[in-house]
Structure 1
Amino acid sequence: MFMESANPTINFFLNEGVPFETVILILMLPIIATFIAFLRQVVGIKAFGIYTPLLITFAFLATNGLKYGIVIFLAVILSGMLLRFILKPLRLLYLPRVAIMLSLVALIVLLMLTLGGNLRRTGLASVSIFPILIMITLVEKFVAVQIEKGNKTAIILALETLLISIVGFYLASWEALIRIIVAEPWLVLLTLPINFFLGKWTGLRLSEYLRFKEILKKQ
C-alpha cells in the first residue's frame, strides 16, 4: 500500500532484490537513533546509552507483537537481577559470571517460550531467535550498571530503556512516517544536521529543569 508513492530510489533498492521491510528499517534507524539522542541530550532520559535502546526497538519490531517483546524484556531483566544475587556469594570473576548468567537467562527464556506454547500463546512461543538474543545480551549491560552504580540506577535505566524502545517501536511502525520515508527517503539525511545541533547542545536538560526548579525560581 506504500508503493503507489514510492520514490525511484526505493524502487531501485527493491528491483535489486532488497526486501521492502529491510529498506524501511534501515532508513528508520537514523530517525530512531536521532530520537534517542534527543531524549538523552534535551529531555535527560539516559537509558543504557543509545545503542541498547536502538537494538531493543528493532527487537520489538521483530517479535510477534509488542506485548511479547515487553514480556521477554522484563523476564530477562528480572532473571538477571535474581541470578546476580544468587551468584554474588560465589565471588566469581566478571566474565565467567556473566557467561553463567547469560546461559541461565537463555534457559529461563526457553522455558518461558515453552510455557507460552503450552498455554496456546503461539505468538510468544514462535518469537524468532533474533530479538531473543538481543534482549538476552541486555543482561551484561544491566549487570555492569548494577556493579558500577547500584541496583536502583540499573532498574531506572532499564525502565528508561524499555520506555524509549516502546516509543521507538511505535515511531518505526507509524504508517504516516513510513509513507513519508517511502516518498522522500532523502529526508533521512536531515537527521545529520539535527544530531550536529544536539552535539552542540549546552543548555539544561528538561529533567534538570524539573530537578532544580526550586533553585531556578530563586534566581
Structure 2
Amino acid sequence: MENINSFITLAAANGVPLDTLVLVLILPIIVTMIAFFRQVIGIKAFGIYTPAIITFAFLATNEIKYGITIFVTVILVGTITRYLLKKARLLYLPRVAIMITIVGFSILFLLFIGGTWNRTGLASVSIFPILIMITLVEKFITVQIEKGNRAAIILSLETLFISVIGYYIASWPQLIKMILSYPWMSLLTIPINIFLGKWTGLRLSEYLRFRQIIKPK
C-alpha cells in the first residue's frame, strides 16, 4: 500500500499487525459516529461500547450477513429462554448463566447447520465475534428487566443498525487508506465530540415525534 505514514510503517516493522493499527485508528471514528447518532439523530442503542464492539465483531466474521445472523439468533434465543425461565424465579446471575449456555449451544447448532448446508463462511466464523455477541445476552436481559421487552427489542434493532453502518465505515477502503496515510486524522474526532457534547438542540427523532407541536402556525 502506497503513502503509508512513517509512524505506521515503523510500528508495522516492529511487529504490530497492520490490521490492529487500522482498527485502533478507526475506533475513534466509529465511537464518534455512535455519539452522533445518539445526540443528533436520537438513536440510543445499547450505549456506546456495545455497538462499537459489535461493529468489530462484524468485521471479524467472514461476511456481514453471518454476523447479522448470529446477532439475531442471540437476541431471539435470549428472549425465548428468558420467557421460559421467567416462572422458575431464579436469581439474576444463575439465570444469565443458563441463558448464555443455551445461546452458546444455539450458536453451535447454527454453525453446524452452516457446515451441513455448505455455508463454509458461517461454519468457519471465529470464536471472537461469537463470544462478543453472546455476551450481548446479559445487556439485553438487563434492559428487559428494567424497561420491558419492547424497549429491549428496539434498542437491539438500533444497536444492529448502528453496528452495520459502523461495519461499512470501518471496511471502507478509501477511509483505511486515508487513516494509514494520515493517522492523526483520528484526533479530529475530539473537537467533533466536544461539539456533540455541547449539543442542546432537538434530536431528529424528537422533531419527527413532536412535529405537530413545533410546526409553525
TM-score (norm 1): 0.97
| In structure 2, C-alpha distance between the alignment counterparts of 1:95 and 1:218, rounded to whole Å | 52
For residue 208 of structure 2, what is the amino acid of its counterpart? L
Deviation at 1:218, TM superposition (A): 4.6
After TM superposition, list the pairs within 5 Å mapping 1:1-219 onto structure 2. 3-218=1-216
| In structure 2, C-alpha distance between the alignment counterparts of 1:187 and 1:28, rounded to whole Å | 10
User: Which moved further from structure 2: 72-81 or 177-186?
Assistant: 177-186
For residue 35 of structure 2, what is the amino acid of its counterpart? A
For residue 211 of structure 1, what is the amino acid of its counterpart? R
Secondary structure in structure 1 of the residue aligned to 2:45? coil
For residue 34 of structure 2, what is the amino acid of its counterpart? I
For residue 185 of structure 1, what is the amino acid of its counterpart? P
Secondary structure in structure 2 of the residue aligned to 1:133? helix
Deviation at 1:24, TM superposition (A): 0.3
| In structure 1, C-alpha distance between the alignment counterparts of 2:3 and 2:64, rounded to whole Å | 28
Secondary structure in structure 2 of the residue aligned to 1:4? coil
Deviation at 1:98, TM superposition (A): 0.4
Cα shift readout 1:39-61 (whole Å, capped 9, x = no counterpart): 00111000000000001000000
| In structure 2, C-alpha distance between the alignment counterparts of 1:122 and 1:175, rounded to whole Å | 25
What's the % identity of the aligned pairs?
65
Deviation at 1:5, TM superposition (A): 1.1
Q: What is the RMSD computed on CA atoms of the aligned residues?
A: 0.8
Deviation at 1:108, TM superposition (A): 0.7
Unaligned runs of 5+ in 1: none
Structure 1 segments, 4+ long, off by >4 Å, are none
The size of the alignment, in residue pairs, is 217
Secondary structure in structure 2 of the residue aligned to 1:166? helix
